[in-house]
Amino acid sequence: MEEMYCPSDELGVIEEDRQEEACGVFGVYSNEENFDASGLTYLGLYALQHRGQESAGMVVSDGERVAAHKEMGLVSRVFNPDVLARLRGRIAIGHVRYSTTGSSYLANAQPLLVRCSKGVLALAHNGNLVNTDQLRQELEELGSVFQSSSDTEIIVNLIARYSRDTLEESIAKASSRLEGSYSLVMMTRDSLIGIRDPFGIRPLCLGKLSNAYIIASENCAFSSIGAKYIRDIAPGEMVVINKDGVTSHTFAQPRKKSLCVFEYIYFARPDSTIDGCNVHLTRKAMGHELAKEFRAQADVVIPVPDTGISTAIGFSEASGIPYDVGLIKNTYVGRTFIQPRQEMRDLGVRIKLNPVEDVIRNRRVVIIDDTIVRGTTSGKIIGLLREAGAREVHMCVSAPPIEFPCYYGMDFPSKEELIANHYETQEEIGKALGVDSINYLSMKKLMEAA
């Protein structure tokens, strides 16, 4: 079994006032011997890059031989033609990661690839377990040894514990022990498996390209490779794909359906449809609702790119205030980049966003953003608009104030760091950010839009 790893570069990190989510997963299965699973997985991961920019990895099988490659960095950096040429096979799973549980280093990059009683097993995980410490202690007392701090390794160890059962039975029993959010793609030498937790907190869907089947976090990965979307994998469902075709198993009774609403607010790509709702249209509906609650007068509506664009379009449609592009995003700056000096850290927002002064100068501006977390980035963006000559700045946010951390896969800071916990009213938050008014979408209206 070939495993290829390369060390990562040391990159400076700009701390952003954004929420981050665990990762994106992708898997493909074909019975055709010459099928290029690695090339297709590369394109699929590229389409899911927005779900994680920290590391990327892939495991490929030709039915007998298994090869793996993972590194820190973006998909385009981790995989090149030489690497893909070595990853030959007709079955593959891939992963893009942003760390929530587990530190940011290569040992935690996924997919995880192990040998166990079930043979070769590879696993990629999107989500976050909340009973990690309990399970880790239990497994260590039974003799398990962990090489990473990722909760994904706990899932692999649980599966390996049920050595007398079939693989499907082992996965079902292991999944019943998990608490939290998890959408999984797994691979053996000759099969592909997709699993979604009983609450359906994270998305997972099934598609098809000719005679190949595909599993992905979002169906935008299907359209990018010309595949057809079949359906969403249901909460509590395990889909097994092998030479006999596709079979579905219910490993747990579905609970109250609880898809994370931040998939619609922030995480997912606008061209994705999750559990029957298109993300772009849902965000436009949020903009419609925001416009109904907006009371000020304004000359132009601008989004914070990219996740504010659809909401701003909807706001403009409902309010009659013209939409325009007031902030330009530098698309060549990822989440991490080299900083020559520490004092350059405060210039992070300016490097990523530049105001279009002729759109902003002497105008009453409505700026649309998806969330406000700590408030640091929002404050800097407001400062950019003021410097560009905005006469008034009114901020509209497509989520209610964030008052609590999340344990299911969103990397929100502690309660003490959230700006909403430092002020008693929304007006006080707006004053702290330096806006003329602030308008959060209410929980009721958010739920109606989604």
Q: Which two tokens stand for residue 105?
A: 């280093």
Of 6, 23, 116, 277, the active-site residue reads 23
Alpha helices in 142-198 (DSSP H): 151-161, 167-176
> What's the CA gap between 337 and 348, in Å, rounded?
10
Secondary structure tally for the chain: helices H, strands E: 15, 22
- The answer to whether residues 70 and 78 touch, using CB atoms and an 8 Å cutoff, is yes
Q: Is 145 exposed, middle or buried (0-12, 13-18, 19+ CB in 10 A)?
A: exposed
List the end-to-end C-alpha distance of the chain, in Å, as a whole number: 46
> What's the CA gap between 294 and 129, in Å, rounded?
39
Amino acid in position 255: R
**Cβ atoms within 10 Å of 371's Cβ, excluding its own:** 21
Q: Is 364 exposed, middle or buried (0-12, 13-18, 19+ CB in 10 A)?
A: middle
> What's the CA gap between 268 and 321, in Å, rounded?
27
> What's the CA gap between 75 and 70, in Å, rounded?
10
Going by C-beta distance under 8 Å and a sequence separation of 6 or more, which residues neighbour residue 202? 22, 126, 127, 181, 182, 183, 196, 217, 259, 260, 263, 409
CA-to-CA separations, 121 to 20, 24, 142, 171, 401, in angstroms, rounded: 28, 19, 20, 11, 42
406 as an active site residue: the answer is no
> What's the CA gap between 366 and 297, in Å, rounded?
9
Q: Which two tokens stand for residue 385?
A: 């608009």
CA-to-CA separations, 199 to 132, 180, 276, 311, 334, in angstroms, rounded: 18, 9, 16, 27, 32
> What's the CA gap between 263 and 403, in Å, rounded?
18
Q: Which two tokens stand for residue 381?
A: 């963006």
Catalytic residue numbers read 23
